[in-house]
């Protein structure tokens, strides 16, 4: 049976969701997506490493995306869907820093929409299967991750924290829910159960309608309690395409029959969102509406502490202080050495982390930076950890245990081999040899200052988990660390 009606609804809802997402971003097109702004090579696929959009190009791509969405609001077109998908990929991967999950979900759904075309025939049915696979993967991935790695979902301790996040939380309905912790515990169980079971039950015809209905409620709940912008609408937009034709026709009949209830429910929900805010405004400013700066005394303390971080003899600071050390070299490229308390290590034990930043910035395209981190052995304590982070995008030997078997093992070459995937990457970055490929732009460290078995690994960016930094640690003994530190000091610590 044709699912063109389903796809028509998904197309329109996606178009609306896309316009609500991308129209406001028009205010930042030059700043975020073009060379007129601040270009940051971020994410795992930073397009700006190879080309940076000029402002007019960024506007053109954004225009194609928005124009395509407007077109799709009224009629299907595989070509237009494909153009929207391409334009979205260019913008999202150019920006790299603030790529949201709903951006990726939006693009994946457009992949399915492009396949579906007008939704007729086998293409529409195959695209529906793809759509189900996409959602099954999203819910299943996040649900099973919760189940396997976060026991706090069982005790109800996760949602209270997210609901008071200064960015994503502090919504009135969320704050109301916080007054009844048992509600949040049940909501947490419900979330995990829905996500864990979705990949399996979605294929069961009897369970599917109920599952989709519950999913709509799930996303409405997220929208009501958290600040996730258009995420819920983008997710809900995909639901008609997952239903069968018959199921969607039933849903439409029900929506029509109970339109009064639905509209009334939506109105009541909007009022429930707005009323507490109105009441609070009448009483005074919403206390958690904005981050308030520290008070004067704390500001003075902050300033004194920060001033201490950037002054003083670097060598002495390295040996004497645990945190916040920085200095720069006088001429040529700026070389800063920072100590960050707590970065990848436990500040309470006093572990110092030294970061060496070496960067040159050509006119438009930011260069990658190389970081070297020294551990506590620098201060003559327990065998420390020295690790450094190569340029973003370089693959090196993987360390750590292989915990989960994966289909990647069938297609990827042996570990430690660089794939040579990015032709624009300079050749010396592509070598698997960690030591002799390290270079400063204004000098060649060469292998003499570094241990032969030191591993060069990659921080591929992102801050999805604190574990990403710890992945890159290679343990060295005292002697090796001492030699590394000495090499640094010989090369870098020149008086200003």
Partner 1 sequence: MPRLFPRLVLVAVALYEIACFTDNLQMLDHQPLRFPKGSWPAIWQMFTLKSDGQENVWYEGRYGTTWVKLPMDEWYPAEWESGYRWERAAWTHERVVPYLQAACERSGAQEVRAVRLAWKRRLGSAAQFPRDGKLSVRGTRRCR
- Residue 371 binds partner 1 (CB under 8 A): yes
φ and ψ at residue 84, rounded to 5 degrees: -60, -40
Own/partner pairs, 366-373, CB within 8 angstroms, 24+ separation: 366/39, 366/40, 366/41, 366/48, 368/41, 368/392, 368/393, 370/438, 370/440, 371/459, 372/484, 372/488, 373/344
Spatial distance between the Cα atoms of 360 and 334, rounded to a whole number of angstroms: 8
Q: Which residues contact 22 (CB under 8 A, 6 or more apart)?
A: 62, 65, 66, 69
Residues from 300 through 339 that contact partner 1 (CB under 8 A): 302-303, 305-307, 309-310, 323-324, 326, 328, 334, 336, 338
Dig out the tokens for 331 from the structure: 């001429």
- Residue 398 binds partner 1 (CB under 8 A): yes
Residues from 57 through 116 that contact partner 1 (CB under 8 A): 97-98, 100-101, 104, 107-108
Residue in 26, 50, 74, 165 binding partner 1, rule: CB under 8 A = 165
* Contact window for partner 1 (CB under 8 A) among 54-62, 237-245, 283-291, 436-444: 283-291
Instruction: Supply the minimum distance, in Å, between the C-beta of residue 292 and partner 1.
Output: 7
- Residue 459 binds partner 1 (CB under 8 A): yes
Binding-site size for partner 1 (CB under 8 A) equals 121
Q: Which residues contact 187 (CB under 8 A, 6 or more apart)?
A: 159, 177, 221
Instruction: Supply the minimum distance, in Å, between the C-beta of residue 215 and partner 1.
Output: 14
Q: How many residues does the chain have?
A: 496
Q: Which residues contact 119 (CB under 8 A, 6 or more apart)?
A: 2, 3, 4, 5, 6, 7, 8, 11, 76, 127
Spatial distance between the Cα atoms of 348 and 420, rounded to a whole number of angstroms: 41
Residue in 297, 424, 426, 463 binding partner 1, rule: CB under 8 A = 463
Cβ–Cβ under 8 Å, residues 187 and 159: yes
Residue in 166, 204, 210, 316 binding partner 1, rule: CB under 8 A = 166
Residues from 225 through 244 that contact partner 1 (CB under 8 A): 226-229
Instruction: Supply the minimum distance, in Å, between the C-beta of residue 428 and partner 1.
Output: 18
Residue in 232, 351, 460, 480 binding partner 1, rule: CB under 8 A = 460
Dig out the tokens for 165 from the structure: 């996040």
- Residue 342 binds partner 1 (CB under 8 A): yes
Which H helix or E strand runs over 336? strand 335-339
- Residue 39 binds partner 1 (CB under 8 A): yes
- Residue 440 binds partner 1 (CB under 8 A): no
Binding mask 399-438 for partner 1 (x = CB under 8 A): xxxxxxxxxxx--x--------x-----------------
Residue in 136, 154, 197, 493 binding partner 1, rule: CB under 8 A = 136
Specify the residue, 62 or 251, whose C-beta has the smaller distance to partner 1.
62
A 10 A CB-CB count for 85 gives: 21
- Residue 179 binds partner 1 (CB under 8 A): yes
- Cα-based torsion angle of the residue sequence 375, 435, 458, 37 in order, rounded to the nearest 10 degrees: 100
- Residue 156 binds partner 1 (CB under 8 A): no
Specify the residue, 14 or 337, whose C-beta has the smaller distance to partner 1.
337
Residue in 121, 126, 262, 433 binding partner 1, rule: CB under 8 A = 126
Residue in 238, 366, 384, 434 binding partner 1, rule: CB under 8 A = 366
Spatial distance between the Cα atoms of 195 and 306, rounded to a whole number of angstroms: 45
């Amino acid at each position: 049976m044709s699912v063109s009606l389903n796809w028509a609804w998904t197309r329109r809802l996606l178009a609306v969701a896309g316009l609500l997402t991308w129209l406001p971003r028009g205010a930042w097109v030059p700043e975020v997506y073009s060379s007129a702004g601040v270009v940051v090579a971020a994410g795992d696929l930073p397009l700006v490493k190879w080309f940076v959009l000029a402002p007019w190009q960024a506007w053109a791509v954004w225009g194609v995306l928005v124009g395509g969405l407007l077109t799709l609001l009224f009629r299907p077109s595989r070509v237009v869907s494909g153009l929207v998908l391409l334009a979205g990929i260019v913008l999202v991967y150019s920006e790299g820093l603030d790529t949201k999950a709903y951006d990726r979900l939006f693009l994946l759904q457009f992949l399915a929409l492009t396949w579906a075309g007008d939704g007729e025939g086998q293409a529409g049915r195959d695209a529906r299967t793809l759509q189900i696979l996409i959602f099954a993967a999203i819910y299943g991935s996040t649900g099973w991750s919760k189940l396997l790695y976060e026991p706090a979902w069982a005790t109800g301790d996760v949602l209270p924290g997210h609901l008071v996040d200064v960015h994503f939380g502090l919504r009135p309905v969320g704050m109301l829910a916080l007054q009844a912790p048992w509600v949040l515990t049940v909501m947490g169980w419900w979330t995990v159960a829905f996500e864990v079971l979705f990949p399996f039950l979605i294929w069961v015809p009897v369970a599917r309608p109920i599952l989709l209905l519950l999913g709509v409620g799930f996303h409405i709940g997220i929208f009501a309690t958290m600040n996730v912008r258009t995420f819920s609408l983008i997710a809900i937009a995909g639901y008609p395409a997952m239903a069968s034709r018959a199921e969607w026709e039933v849903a439409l009949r029900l929506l029509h029959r109970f339109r009064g209830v639905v509209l009334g429910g939506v109105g009541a929900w909007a009022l429930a969102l707005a009323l507490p805010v109105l009441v609070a405004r009448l009483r005074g400013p919403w206390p958690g509406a904005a981050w308030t700066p520290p008070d004067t005394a704390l500001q003075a303390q902050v300033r004194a502490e920060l001033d201490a971080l950037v002054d003083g003899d670097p060598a002495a600071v390295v040996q004497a202080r645990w945190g916040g050390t920085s200095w720069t070299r006088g001429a040529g490229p700026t070389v800063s050495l920072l100590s960050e308390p707590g970065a990848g290590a436990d500040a309470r034990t006093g572990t110092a982390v030294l970061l060496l930043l070496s960067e040159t910035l050509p006119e438009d395209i930011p260069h990658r930076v190389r970081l070297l981190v020294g551990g506590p052995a620098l201060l003559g304590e327990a065998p420390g950890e020295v690790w450094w982070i190569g340029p973003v995008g370089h693959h090196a030997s993987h360390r750590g245990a292989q915990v989960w078997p994966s289909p990647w093992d069938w297609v990827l070459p042996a570990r430690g081999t660089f794939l040579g995937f990015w032709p624009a990457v300079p050749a010396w970055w592509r070598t698997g040899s960690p030591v002799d490929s390290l270079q400063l732009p204004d000098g060649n460290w060469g292998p003499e200052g570094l241990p032969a078995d030191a591993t060069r690994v990659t921080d591929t960016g992102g801050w999805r988990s604190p574990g990403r930094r710890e992945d890159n640690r290679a343990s060295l003994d005292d002697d090796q660390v001492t030699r590394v530190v000495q090499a640094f000091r010989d090369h870098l610590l020149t008086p200003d």
